[in-house]
Structure 1
Amino acid sequence: MQVGIDQIGFYTPNKYVDMVDLAHARNQDPNKFLIGIGQSKMSVADQTQDAVSMGINATMRYIDEIDREKVGLLVIGTESGVDQSKSASLFVKSALELAPEVRTFEIKEACFGMSAGIMIARDYVRLHPHHSAIVIGSDIARYGLNTGGEVTQGAGSVSMLIKAEPRILALKNGHSAYSADINDFWRPNDSAVALVNGKYSTEVYLDFFKRTFTNYQAQNDCQTADFAALIYHLPFVKMGFKANQLAIEKQEQETAERLANNFTASAQYSREIGNIYTASLYLSLLSLLENGNLAPEALVGLFSYGSGAMGEFYAGQVMEGYQNALDFDGDQEMIARRQKVSVSEYEQIFTQALELPQDNFELESDEETGYWYFAGTKDHVRQYKQK
C-alpha cells in the first residue's frame, strides 16, 4: 500500500509589496533583493488574515472534492499561533465542518512543523488505510520594518490531504533526521517579530542539509543522480539555491542541469510570495509539480528545516497523471489576484497587524467573496467569518 499526497490547496493574502520598491525605500540596490536574496515580491497579510484563516482558505480549495467522513486526523503546523493553549486546528476543523470524532492538534518546531505533521499523518494512514488526514502549514513571517530580515517576510498556507493510494506523490520509506539545540532564529513570548542571526542560520541550514542528504543516501543506497529533483525549505530563494549547489557539485552535467532546472521551477512561487515558514517547503513542491518537468515515478527529494534546529530529508515518488490532481489555473489566479501596495501602505498594514484589535470591535475584510477571515474578538473569543 502506498501512502502520500492526494490533494494540495494553496492560499496567500490579496496584497503584495514589490521588492524593487522596497529596495528603493531602504536605499538599497534592487539587485541585492532580486538576485542576492532571490525575491521579486512579498505577500502581505493585513489584520484580518492569520494562521487560522489562511489554513481554512487553503483547505477550502479542495474540501468539496473529498469524502469528509473519511477524514480522521487534522494537524496544523505553525509558528504563528493565535493562542498559547488552544490549537489553531480546532478553529479550522469547525470552519470545515469536519466530524467531532476527528483527532486534531497543532505542532510547533519553527518551519519544521508541517513536515512533522506529514510524518504523523503518513503513519496514521498506514494504520488506518480507510481514513485520510489533512495537514496544514500556515504562517506569517515577520521580522520587522527596516530590519535585516525584512526582505525575507511573507504570508501564506499550504494544505494537503494524505491518504492511501495517493494521486500526486507517494511517500517513500526511510528518512534522515538531525537536530541540535541552537539559537539561529527564535521568537520570544514578548515579541511579535522574530529574532534571527541570519549568517549563522544559513550556515546551520546548509550543514543540516549536507548531514541529512548524505545520511539518507547511505541508508537507502541511492545517489544524487537517482533524483529527478531536490526541493528545499525556502525562507528565501537564495538559501535553497546554495543548498542545491552543494548537491550538484561534482555531478555529471546531465544530473546537474536537471536538478538546477527543477530547482528553478520549485522556487518560482516562493520568489513571488516570500517566506511562509512551515509551508515553504510544500510551496516549493507545488511549484515544482506545476512548473517543472517530471516523468511518472520520478523521485523527488525533500529537505525540511526548522530553526532551533531540526532538519530532515525524505523522498517521494511522483504518481502517473499527477497533473490531473492539481489546480494549476487556480494557483496562477491566486497569485495574480493580489493587489500591489506601496511601501508606505505596506508599513501601515504591517504595524497595524501587530496589534490585536479592541475586543468586541468587528473587523471587515477586503478579500474576495468566499474567503474566510479573522473578524476580531467577541468577549475575548476569536471570531472567524466567511466573506
Structure 2
Amino acid sequence: MQIGIDKIGFYTPHIYVDMNKLAERRNVEPEKFTIGIGQEKMAIAPITQDAVTMAANAALEIVDEKDKEAIDFVIFGTESGIDHSKSAAIYVHHLLGLHENARSIELKQACYGATAGIQMAKSHVALHPESKVLVLGSDIARYGLETSGEATQGAGAVALLISADPDILALDHDSAFKTDEVMDFWRPIHSDKALVDGKLSNEQYIAFFANVWEQYKAKTDATLADFEAITFHLPYTKMGKKAFKAVLDEGTDEDTERLMTNYQISAEYNRIVGNIYTGSLYLSLLSLLENKEDLQPGARIGLFSYGSGAVGEFFAGTLQSNYRKQLPLGKHNQLLESRTEVSVSEYEAIFEETLPTNGSDVTLDTAGDPAEICLAGVKDDMRQYVRKG
C-alpha cells in the first residue's frame, strides 16, 4: 500500500516588506539580503493572523466535505503555539468543522514539527487505510527588529492531507534521521522572539544534511542520479544551496545541472515569503510542483528536513500520475501577487503590535484582513476566532 501526500494547501498573509528597502533602512547593501541570503520579500503577519488562523486558511483550500468525513487525526507542527496546554490543532479542527471522532494534537521540534507529523500520519494510515490525516505546519518567524536574524523572518502555513493511494507524492518507507543537542536556535518561554547563533546554525544544518544523506545512501543504495529534484527546509534560500553543494561532486555534470535548476525552482516561493519554520520544506516542495511544468509523474523527489536544536531527516517520494490535477495551479501565484507592500516604518509598527500579556481583553478590526479566518480579539484570556464565510 502506498501512503503519502494527497493534497497540499498554502496560505501567507496579505502584506509584505521589500528586502531592498529593508536593507537600505538598516544601512546594509541590498545585495546582502537579495543575493547573500537570497530573499526578495518578507511576509508579515498582521495582529489578526496567528499560527492557528494561517493553518486554518491553508487547510480551507484543500479540505472538502468528503475529506472531512475521512479525517480522524489532525497533527499541528509549530513553534509559534498560542497556548502552553491546549493544542492549536483543536482550534483548526473546530474552524474547519471536522467531525468529533478525531484526534487533535500539537507537535514541537523547531522547524521539524510538520515532518514528524507526516511520519506519525504514515503510521496511522498504515493501520487505518480508510483514514486521512491533516498535517499542518504554521509559524511566524520572529527575531526582532534590527537583529541579525531579522532578514530571515516570514509568516505562513502549509496544510498536507496524508492518505493511502495519494494523488501527489507516494512516500518511501526508508528515511534517515539524526538528533543531537545543539544550541543553535531556541526561544525561551519568557520570550516571543527567537534567539539564534547564526554561524553555528549554518554549520549544523550542513553537517546534519551530510550525515543523513550518507545514512540514506547506505540504507537504499541511492545516488544523486536517482533524483529529479531534492527539496530543502529553507530558513533562507541560500541555506539549502550551501548544503547541496557539499554533495554535488558525487554526481555527473548532468546531475548537477538538473538538481541545481530544480533547486532554484523549488526556492521561488520561499524567496518571496521568507522563513515559515515548520512549513518551509513543504513550501519548497509546492514551489517545485507548481512552477516546474515539465516535471513528470514517476520522478523521485528527495526532501531534507531540519529543526534546530537539532533533528534532521532525509526521505523521498515518487510523483503520482495525476499529481498536477490535485494542485490549485495559479492560485498560489495569485495569492502572492495580490499582496500589498508596506513601508519599512509600517512593517516596524505591525511587528510591535502584539496581544496583551496582562490578561486584559482586546477587540481587533478584521475588516482590513482579506483572509477567510481571522483572529478577532481576546476575551477572558480566550482567543476569539472568526470565519467570515
TM tier relative to shorter chain? over 0.9
Shift of 1:234: 0.2
- TM-score, scaled to structure 1: 0.98
User: For residue 330 of structure 1, what is the aligned residue in structure 2?
Assistant: 331
- Aligned counterpart, 2:89: 89
Q: What are the residue-to-residue correspondences of 1:243-258 with 2, within 5 Å?
A: 243-258=243-258
Give the SS at the match of 1:67.
helix
TM-score between the two structures when normalised by the length of structure 2: 0.97
What is the CA–CA distance in structure 2 between the aligned matches of 1:138 and 1:348, rounded to whole Å? Answer: 23
Secondary structure of 2:315's match?
A: strand
The 8 Å contact of residues 357 and 376 in structure 1, kept in 2 or not, is answered as no
Residue 164 and residue 83 in structure 1: after superposition, are their counterparts in 2 closer, same or farther (change >3 A)?
same
Return the letter of the residue paired with 1:184.
D
> Once the 2 structures are TM-superposed, how far is the Cα of residue 104 of structure 1 from its aligned partner?
0.8
Whether the 8 Å CA contact 2:7–2:326 is kept in 1: the answer is yes
- Judge conservation of contact 1:117–1:135 (CA < 8 Å) in 2: yes
Q: Relative to structure 1, is the Cα distance of residues 217 and 366 closer, same or farther in structure 2, using a 3 angstrom cutoff? A: farther
> 1:101 corresponds to which residue?
101
Is the deviation greater in 253-262 or in 243-252? Answer: 243-252
Report the CA distance shift for 1:370/1:232 in structure 2 as closer, same or farther (over 3 A). Answer: closer
Residues 362-381 of structure 1: matches in 2 within 5 Å?
362-367=363-368, 369=370, 371-381=372-382
Using the TM superposition, name which of 186-195 and 359-368 deviates more. Answer: 359-368
Stretches of structure 2 lacking an aligned partner (at least 5 in a row): none
CA distance in 1, matches of 2:186, 2:31: 28
CA-to-partner distance for each residue in 1:327-365, whole Å, 9 max, x for gaps?
A: 121111111111000000000000113655973321112
Alignment partner, residue 131 of structure 1: 131
RMSD (Å) for aligned C-alpha atoms: 1.3
Task: Find out whether 1:194 has 2:167 as its counterpart.
Answer: no
Tell me the matched-pair count: 387
What is the aligned partner in structure 2 of residue 352 from structure 1? Answer: 353
CA distance in 1, matches of 2:66, 2:55: 17
Contact in 1 for aligned 2:3/2:171 (Cα 8 Å)? yes
Deviation per residue, 1:266-292 (Å, 9 max, x gap): 000000000000000000000010112
Instruction: Give the C-alpha shift of residue 111 in structure 1.
Output: 0.3
Matching residue's letter, 2:19:
M
> Alignment partner of 2:362: what SS?
coil
Partner of 2:238: 238
Q: Which residue of 1 aligns with 2:178?
A: 178
Partner of 1:343: 344
1:28 aligns with: 28
Q: Are 2:148 and 1:160 aligned?
A: no
Q: How far is the alpha carbon of 1:382 from its aligned partner?
A: 1.1
The residue that corresponds to 1:151 in the other structure is 151
Deviation readout 1:106-127 (Å, 9 max, x if unpaired): 0000000000000000110111
Note the C-alpha offset of 1:247. Answer: 2.7
Where 1:242 maps in the other structure, the secondary structure is helix
**How far apart, in 2, do the equivalents of 1:38 and 1:228 lie?**
23
**Residue type of the alignment partner of 1:70:** A
User: Does the 8 Å CA contact 1:47/1:353 hold for their aligned counterparts?
Assistant: yes
For the residue of structure 1 that corresponds to 2:330, the secondary structure is helix
Q: Which residue of 1 aligns with 2:321?
A: 320
Query: Bigger CA drift: 137-146 or 217-226?
Result: 217-226
Equivalent residue, structure 1, for 2:47: 47
After superposition, give the CA deviation of every residue in 1:42-97 in whole Å (9 maximum; x if it has no partner): 00001111000001000000122643111111000000000000000000000011
Closer, same or farther: CA 274–355 of 1 in aligned 2, 3 Å: farther
Looking at structure 2, the residues matched to 123 and 90 of structure 1 have their Cα atoms a distance apart, in angstroms, of 21
Tell me which amino acid in the other structure corresponds to 2:239: M
* Kept in 2: contact 1:11–1:157 (CA 8 A): yes
Structure-to-structure mapping, 1:262-301, within 5 angstroms: 262-292=262-292, 293-301=294-302
Provide the C-alpha distance between the structure 1 equivalents of 2:368 and 2:122, rounded to a whole number of angstroms: 34
5 Å matches for 1:207-246? 207-246=207-246
Quote how far apart the aligned CAs of 1:172 are.
0.6
AA partner of residue 192 (structure 1): D
* Cα shift at 1:176: 0.3
SS state at 2:135 partner: strand
The list of structure 1 runs, each at least 4 consecutive aligned residues, that deviate by more than 6 angstroms after superposition, is none
Counterpart Cα distance in 2 of 1:249 and 1:364: 54
Q: Alpha-carbon deviation of 1:194?
A: 0.2
